[in-house]
Amino acid sequence: MTRIDLSVTAARRALGSLVSMDESDDAIVARYASAVWSHLVEPGDSAAGRLVAGLGAVQALRVIAEAAWTDAVDPRDIVEGCKRWLPRLDQEAIALGLQRADRAGVALITRADPAWPRQLDDLDAHAPLCLWVRGDPAVLRRLQPSVAIVGARAATSYGEHVALELAADLAGGGIPIVSGGAYGIDGAAHRATLRAGGVTVALSAGGVDRAYPAGNADLLDRVAATGAIVSEVPCGSAPTKWRFLQRNRLIAALSTATVVVEAGWRSGSLNTAGHAAALSRPLGAVPGPITSAASAGTHRLLREYGAQCITSAADIRDLLGLSAGPALVADTFNPQTDDSTRVRDALSVRAWRSSPDIARRAGMATEDVEAILGLLDLDGAVTRGAAGWRLAPSAK
Amino acid sequence: MTRIDLSVTAARRALGSLVSMDESDDAIVARYASAVWSHLVEPGDSAAGRLVAGLGAVQALRVIAEAAWTDAVDPRDIVEGCKRWLPRLDQEAIALGLQRADRAGVALITRADPAWPRQLDDLDAHAPLCLWVRGDPAVLRRLQPSVAIVGARAATSYGEHVALELAADLAGGGIPIVSGGAYGIDGAAHRATLRAGGVTVALSAGGVDRAYPAGNADLLDRVAATGAIVSEVPCGSAPTKWRFLQRNRLIAALSTATVVVEAGWRSGSLNTAGHAAALSRPLGAVPGPITSAASAGTHRLLREYGAQCITSAADIRDLLGLSAGPALVADTFNPQTDDSTRVRDALSVRAWRSSPDIARRAGMATEDVEAILGLLDLDGAVTRGAAGWRLAPSAK
C-alpha cells in the first residue's frame, strides 16, 4: 500500500515557506495534508469532500494511505475514491508541486485560515479542499459583496465596451470584480477594474503559477499585484476542460452575483451562469442585438433561466440588493391618461375657445373642463382671454 | 332637451350605404344608434359602455336624449355621462360624419355584425361601442391568433430590420400582423407583411378616412387593399393624444400577443405593452444594445413587466402557444461534465499513454477509465496501440 510521511518534519520540509512562523505542529501537518489532497483529487470530487469534512484532511489521508478503515464515513466513498486517488499519491510529485508554489510566492489557503472565503461552503461536498493564491489572500474575505462579470472570449467590441463600463462603475464604487482571466469579456472586466483602482480576482482553471492564456500574462501579473489569482488545483497543473467547468463553479460561488455580458449559444459562461442559478446566487444577463451571435447565450439566460436584464451598473447594484428597487413606473406606462390630456387635446395655441366648446371637443362635462382649465392656468399651461382659453405655446 | 330622430326613415337616410340590403328596420335603427354613440363619446368611456351594454344603443340614447330615466342602470352613469355626451348630440354634425364614412367606403361594424372581433369583449365596459373599418371587415374575425408588432417611431435601422424580419416570417406563416400605422417599427411591420402576402391591420387614433401620418398614406392604402384600417372614432376625427393612448388598448386587445421591437424610455408603445399586460395577453420585447436609447424601453419591459425576451419569430410562436416549448438545455449548461471529458483531457494526440497513466492524470479509477476508453474507441475518438491509447486528431 502506498504510504505518505505525515510527520511534522516531513510536512515542514515539503511546505517550505508555505507555513507561517506561529503555526502549531498540528496545524502544519493539517496544512500539508490539505495540500496533498489538492494533488490527489480533481475539482468537485464529492467523495473526497465528504471524507475530508468527516475526518479532517490528516485522518482522511491516513484512512486511504494506510487502509485504516473507519465507521465515521461511508465506506463506499473510501473504496470508490481510493481507486481514483491512490494512483496520484506520489510523495515526490507532490513535493515538486509544493516547491513550484513556494518558488512562485503562491499562498496555500485552507479552511483553517482566516482568509478562507466562507461563501464557498455553499458548495457543500463539492467545495474545494484548499485554494492556491497568487497575490493577496486577504482579498478573498472582501468578496461579499462582489460581482462576477464573465462572458465570451470571442467578444464583440460592443461586449467589451459594456464589460469595461460596468466593471469600471462598480469597481469605482468599491465593489470587487471576479472573473476568469480569459480573453474577451473576462479580460475587459479585469482591466477596467484595475484602471478604476478596484480589487479584482481571477479564477484559474490550471495552476496559478502558469499564466493562462499566455497572452494575458501581463494583465494577470497586474491582477495579482493588487488582487489575487486563485485556483484549487496545485501549481503546475494544466487547465483541462474539466477544470474549466469546475473553475466556473468557483467563480459563481465566490461572487455575490454573476453577470454574463456576452455569450454565444454554447458559451462556457452559460455554465458559470448555471452554477450561479444552482447556488441560488442572483444572475444577470446583458442583452444585445438579436442579430449578434455573441448575445445569443445571454438572451437564452433571459428567456430560459430567468436572469435579470442588466442594462447598467445600477441594475447590478439592484441585483446585489445594494439599492432601492426601481422607481414606480405606472405614470410612464399611462402617461397623462387623465382628463387634463383630453382638455389639452381640445385646446388650440391659435384659436380662443370657450369652455363649453372645449367640453364638447373633449367629450367632457363643462364643469369638469373648467376645473381643469383652472389648474392648467396655475401651471401656466393655458391662457385665459375675453373669448375663452388658449394653450400656451410652451405647453404644446 | 336635445332630441334625436330615431325613426327608421331618419336612420336609413343618415346611414346611406352603411346599411346592408337584408337588414331589418330594428337592426337599422340599432346600427344608427351605435353610430350616434360613436360620435358622442371619447374612446374608453366606461359609463357609456355600461349604459349601452345594459340597455342597448337605442334605448340608452333615448334615456339620455329624452331624459327617460330607468332603473335598469346606475343613475350616476346617466347623470355624469349626460354632461359629457349631450353637448355633442348634434344631429347635423353626426350626419356629416356618416356622409364622410359613406363617401370613403368605410364600413360600420357593431357588436351585432358577424365581423365583430369577440376578443374586444375582454375590455368589458371599456370596449369600443362600434368600429369604423376601411378595407375588409372580415379580417377582424381572423385575428386569433395574431401578433401586434409595435414600437418606436424613431426606430433605428436595427429595429426596422428586426421588425421586417419578424413580421415577414410570421406573416409568411399565415399569422396576421396588427400595428399602429406609424413611422418606424409599425410601418416596417405593415410593409413586411404586405410584401409576404400576409394580412395586416392598422389601428388608427383618428378617423380611418384620414391617413395618419400623411407620409404613410400610400402604405395605409395598401394595408386597406388587402387588410383593414380600424378605428373606434368616427370619420373626420382628429388623432388626439388621448385617442392614441386608447387606440393602443385596441391594438393590445385585438391581438393574441403584443411584441415591442424598439421603444425609448418613455415610448408610447410601452403604453400598448401595459394594456397587453393588463389584459393578461402574452407580452414580448426584443432586446437590443444597452447603449441604444431606442432599446431602453424594451429592456424596461424585460426587467419590470416580465416580458418574454424575443429573439426570433419562433420565440413569438412560443408566445402564442403555437409551438413546442424550448428544447431541454441542461446538456449545454453542463457540456460534457461527465467522466469522458476527464478521460479526453488526460489523453494526448501525440503521446501513447497507458490506462493507469490516463487514470492518474484524470484522477479516476483505472477500471472506469478503461470502460470509457472502450466507448471512445467505438466512436473513433481514440486509437489503441501497443503502448496504450492516443486521442484521434479529429476528436481534439
Q: Locate all alpha helices (DSSP H) within A305-389, ordered by sequence.
A: 313-320, 330-333, 339-346, 355-362, 366-378
Is residue B33 packed enough to be buried (19+ CB in 10 Å), middle (13-18) or exposed (0-12)? buried
Cell for B253?
386587445
B159-B161-B163 Cα angle (round to 5): 70
Identity of the residue numbered B280: S
B285: three-class secondary structure by DSSP: strand
Q: Which residues contact A277 (CB under 8 A, 6 or more apart)?
A: A283, A305
Smallest CA–CA distance, residue A42 to chain B, in Å, is 6
By the CB < 8 Å criterion, does B240 face chain A? Answer: yes
Cell for A111?
479552511
pLDDT number for residue B1: 44
| Residue A69, pLDDT above cutoff 80 | no
Task: Please identify which residue in the block is written with the cell numbers 395577453.
Answer: B281
Q: Does residue A188 or residue A369 have the better pLDDT?
A: A188
What does the pLDDT look like over A253-304, one tens digit per residue? 999 999 999 999 989 999 999 999 999 999 999 999 999 999 999 999 999 9
Task: Please identify which residue in the block is written with the cell numbers 395598401.
Answer: B222
What does the pLDDT look like over B176-210, one tens digit per residue? 999 999 999 999 999 999 999 999 999 999 999 99
Size of interface A-B (CB pairs under 8 A): 170
Task: Find how far residue B347's CA is from the centre of its chain.
Answer: 55
Ordered structural domains, chain B, with CATH: 8-103 (no CATH), 135-320 (3.40.50.450), 332-395 (1.10.10.10)
CB burial string A280-289: b at 16+ within 10 A, e below = ebbbbbbbbb
By the CB < 8 Å criterion, does B304 face chain A? Answer: yes
Q: How confident is the model at residue A251 (pLDDT cuts 50, 70, 90)?
A: very high
ipTM of model: 0.81
Helices B366-378 and B355-362 sit at what angle, rounded to 10 degrees? Answer: 110
Instruction: Centre a 10 Å sphere on the Cβ of residue B245 and count the other Cβ atoms it contains.
Output: 22
Which H or E run includes A394?
A: none
Task: Please identify which residue in the block is written with the cell numbers 461527465.
Answer: B338
Question: Beta strand pairing status for A283-285 and A177-179?
Answer: unpaired
| Residue B105, pLDDT above cutoff 90 | yes
Cα B224 from Cα B135, distance rounded (Å): 4
| From B42, B162, B365, residue closest to A342, measured CB to CB | B42
What does the pLDDT look like over B12-44, one tens digit per residue? 999 999 998 889 999 999 999 999 999 999 999
Q: Does residue A107 or residue A362 have the better pLDDT?
A: A107
Average pLDDT of span B60-88: 85
| Residue B115, pLDDT above cutoff 90 | yes
What does the pLDDT look like over B295-344, one tens digit per residue? 999 999 999 999 999 999 999 999 999 875 444 444 444 444 478 888 98
What does the pLDDT look like over B356-395, one tens digit per residue? 889 888 888 888 888 888 888 878 888 888 888 999 887 6
In A6-144 the beta strands, taken as DSSP E runs, fall at: 107-109, 131-135
Cβ–Cβ of B341/A245 closer than 8 Å? Answer: yes
Give the count of alpha carbons within 13 A of A203, CB side only: 26
pLDDT number for residue B395: 64
Give the count of alpha carbons within 13 A of B336, CB side only: 14
Neighboring chain A residues of B85 at a CB cutoff of 8 Å: 363
Average pLDDT of span A20-48: 95
